[in-house]
Amino acid sequence: MAAESPKASLRRELNLFDVTVSGIGIILGAGVYVLIGQAAGLCGNAVWLAFAVSALMALVTGLSYAELSSMFPRAGAEYDYVRNAFDARLAFVTGWLVFLSGVLAAATVALGFGGYFNVLTGVPVFASALVLLVLLTALLAYGIRETVRVAVVATLIEAAGLVIIIAIGLPHLGSVNYLELPQGIPGLFAAAALIFFAYQGFESMVKFSEETKVPESTIPRALLLALTISTVLYILVALAAVSVLSWEQLAVSGAPFADIVAATLGPEWAALIAVIALFATANTVLMSMYASIRLLFGMAVSSSLSAGLAYVHPGRRTPIAATVACGILTVALIFLGDIAFIANVTNFTLFVTFIMINAAVIALRYHSPGADRAFRVPGSLGRLPVLPVVGILLCVLLLGVQDRSVLALGAVLTGIGVVLLLVSGWRATRRTGP
């Protein structure tokens, strides 16, 4: 089988800096550049607090990912975690949801890239989105080191964009009531559920495991570092944004950051933010595709998908078959639009997945208490880890504030995964221990 062939092994080249910076690049991006205005419309000047609530949920579940990645440092990530904690059938559906969230996010954000590129050049949105996806698929097929180098450069540029917004807002800090909640607590949680799209990607960092040096300790450390740095940047950006423009203005803006720059430095500077947004959106697409490709590869290696998807290029040592398959599907999905709706659908798949991830930590603490863990989620009552329980409750809470249309489509997509499981004739029901 391809998974057992020497040619099927991926190249371990990434260190703590590489994984941390790439993780920040995954987290930062289209979410904050596009959704902060809509979030401000839901919770007013307290939009920073919505970022904090989302960060709390991301951190709690991030700790669960850290423990599981230290136990199973493999590219299959969520699939491997759930399979070892429960069984292969549930793992298949979980893996399907994670893969779907990645390609949906990549397709949607590619359209966001097309929108920014259209403003700057007049090139049609779909044309530039298509070209972007083809180029990034080629980059991913070429090599992991080259992919990470591009991601690091793009991350530095998009982080610079956020720093510009923070610097612009500094003279205006203290000019508004930062606890103003026009729609009360329900609006805060609705904004937090939407904003969570801006944190999407922290969970994808575990998929660097098979290409990372000493992944058992490097991945957990990098994950927590990336989440902390991203959260600080997000909260500062949110405070700066409502200090410069009113939340009412942000709520109706199609390009909130460009409007902030135009209002303070002049409209000629707004093009700078648009260029930075191109790097931010392209980087989000790149890292979303990377995560989906590695998950597809990991599931193929584990024999839950066609062994052909586990094929690794003998020279480049990249999962070429999974890369091409993911690229084709992502291109097909660019015909979807409405980034806010798709963001919430993506969040639905993530919330369901995170429930399973937190449950996996709990289950493994009971049926495999002696397994090696380079990292453990702190705080337990006996064998019961408390924070994963909190993570499950937070996921249920954020699912509860989603629109019915989002819940309906999310249920349909989950059902498709179950159908795929049945059609594939999947019968691997034996629980696999660590």
Distances (CA, A) of 431 to 44, 74, 270, 303, 424: 48, 17, 55, 15, 19
**Residue 358 — pLDDT band, cuts 50, 70, 90?**
very high
- Which one-letter amino acid corresponds to residue 108? T
Q: Which helix (H) or strand (E) holds 94?
A: helix 88-121
Distance (Å, rounded) from C-alpha 281 to C-alpha 115? Answer: 10
Q: What is the pLDDT of residue 434?
A: 44
Assign domain 12-423 to its CATH superfamily. Amino acid/polyamine transporter I (1.20.1740.10)
Q: Within a 10 A sphere around the Cβ of 419, how many other Cβ atoms?
A: 10
- What's the pLDDT tens digit per position in 168-181? 988 898 888 999 89
Q: Which one of 38-47, 118-127, 250-259, 267-276 scores highest in mean pLDDT?
A: 38-47
Highest-confidence segment of 7-11, 32-36, 59-63, 70-74: 59-63
Closest by CA position to 267, among listed 254, 257, 258? 258
- Comparing 28-32, 107-111, 279-283, the range with the smallest average pLDDT is 28-32
431 pLDDT above the threshold of 60: no
The residue ranking higher by pLDDT, 258 or 393, is: 393
